[in-house]
């Protein structure tokens, strides 16, 4: 659609561009500058217009003074005072999310990541496609899920959308993924207000999760340290331990309370499995002592080989240690 260019239109557009961005800041600065000018200009004029003549024993001083000086100082002071008050009020009322801008998606990722983690946790625990095989379980699942998606996921999504809208520059690759995420957020919200509306065509884009996880990855993760520790601690049981994996927040250097790990052993005898449970218990205690973090350890025996495969499939990403 073309817009008709008129002189008035151009002038208004120019005026809009000048006034709209940070209008309040410009107003405060104008008020402050005006106040300083009013209060100080008499002093400047007096300084510039004073004339002193010294000739022999004669001393002549000429200067201008005005009775309106006190009025100007009063007006100037009121303007300075007002600008300070407005500035303070603005700082108090300012909502941080409303002004924070992000130069790139990479910079926004650290703020998006906790919101996505929260959504993922809720979805994993309460989301649809649960494996409940009982009507009562499904009802419980459904009720909690319905409540949580309205009360937590939608507000989290709104915040993600707000952050995405404040990213100044997106690469071409990022733009297409972000667009998919925005479509998902809108469709999911619509589905929450109208359950008959299906968002199957706009499901959560895994590529967006990949991107955010990659960007929010901490360079100083301790995976190597944990891996070495696990290898060393389990070296005595090399004949029993088949494989060891680390997964979850530790992969991104964001483990706050625990580190997730899986051990698959080759044991079949119940007595041996029971004995290995003591080993895993000791391992957890030793890890907590050495790293001040819990080791959330999942141990599978050969009897549970199928469960192990299923569990590994569910995990988004893992790092093989042994």
How many whole angstroms separate alpha carbon 113 and alpha carbon 215?
A: 9
Looking at beta carbons only, is 50 or 307 nearer to other proteins?
Answer: 307
Helix, strand, coil shares, percent, the chain, to 5 = 65, 15, 20
Q: Which positions touch other proteins (CB under 8 A)?
A: 124-127, 130-137, 140-141, 144, 147-148, 270, 273-274, 276-278, 280-281, 297-301, 303-304, 306-307, 310-311, 314
> 181: part of which helix (H) or strand (E)?
helix 172-193
Q: Which is nearer to other proteins, 302 or 319 (CB)?
A: 302
| Minimum CB distance to other proteins smaller for 52 or for 131 | 131
How far is CA 201 from each of CA 148, 178, 267, 285, rounded to the nearest angstrom? 22, 16, 45, 47
Closest contact distance (angstroms) between CB of 291 and other proteins is 18
Largest CA distance in the chain: 120
CB-wise, 38 or 300, nearer to other proteins?
300
Element (DSSP H or E) covering residue 265: strand 258-265
Minimal distance, residue 308 CB to other proteins, in Å: 9
Instruction: Tell me how far, at minimum, the Cβ of 131 lies from other proteins, in Å.
Output: 6
Burial of 284 per CB tally in 10 Å (0-12, 13-18, 19+): middle
Which DSSP state fits 99? H
Q: CB of 315: closest distance to other proteins in angstroms? A: 10
How far apart are CB 137 and other proteins at their closest, in Å?
5
In terms of CB distance, is 131 or 220 closer to other proteins? 131
CB 40 within 8 A of CB 76: yes
CB atoms within 10 A of CB 116: 20
State which residue, 124 or 176, has the beta carbon closest to other proteins: 124
Smallest gap from residue 274 Cβ to other proteins (A) = 5
């Amino acid at each position: 659609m073309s817009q008709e260019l008129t002189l008035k239109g151009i002038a208004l557009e120019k005026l809009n561009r000048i006034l709209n961005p940070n209008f309040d800041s410009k107003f405060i600065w104008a008020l402050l500058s005006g106040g300083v000018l009013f209060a100080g200009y008499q002093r400047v004029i007096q300084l510039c217009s004073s004339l002193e003549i010294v000739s022999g024993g004669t001393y002549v001083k000429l200067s201008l003074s005005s009775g309106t000086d006190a009025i100007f100082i009063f007006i100037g002071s009121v303007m300075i005072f007002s600008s300070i008050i407005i500035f303070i009020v603005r700082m108090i009322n300012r909502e941080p999310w409303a002004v924070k801008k992000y130069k790139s998606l990479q910079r926004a990722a650290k703020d998006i990541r906790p919101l996505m983690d929260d959504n993922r946790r809720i979805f994993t625990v309460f989301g649809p496609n649960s494996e409940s095989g009982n009507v009562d379980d499904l009802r419980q699942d459904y009720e909690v899920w319905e409540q949580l998606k309205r009360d937590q996921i939608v507000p989290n999504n709104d915040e993600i959308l707000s952050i995405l809208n404040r990213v100044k520059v997106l690469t071409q690759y990022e733009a297409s993924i972000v667009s998919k995420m925005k479509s998902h957020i809108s469709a999911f919200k619509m589905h929450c207000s109208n359950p008959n509306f299906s968002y199957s065509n706009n499901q959560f884009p895994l590529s967006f999760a990949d991107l955010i996880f990659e960007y929010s990855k901490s360079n100083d993760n301790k995976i190597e340290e944990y891996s070495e520790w696990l290898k060393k601690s389990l070296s005595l049981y090399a004949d029993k331990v088949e494989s060891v994996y680390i997964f979850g927040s530790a992969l991104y250097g964001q483990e706050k309370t625990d580190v997730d790990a899986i051990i698959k052993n080759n044991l079949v005898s119940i007595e041996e499995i029971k004995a290995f449970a003591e080993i895993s218990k000791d391992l957890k205690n030793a890890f907590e002592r050495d790293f001040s973090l819990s080791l959330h350890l999942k141990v599978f025996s050969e009897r549970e080989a199928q469960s192990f495969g299923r569990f590994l499939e569910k995990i988004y990403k893992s790092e093989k240690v042994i």
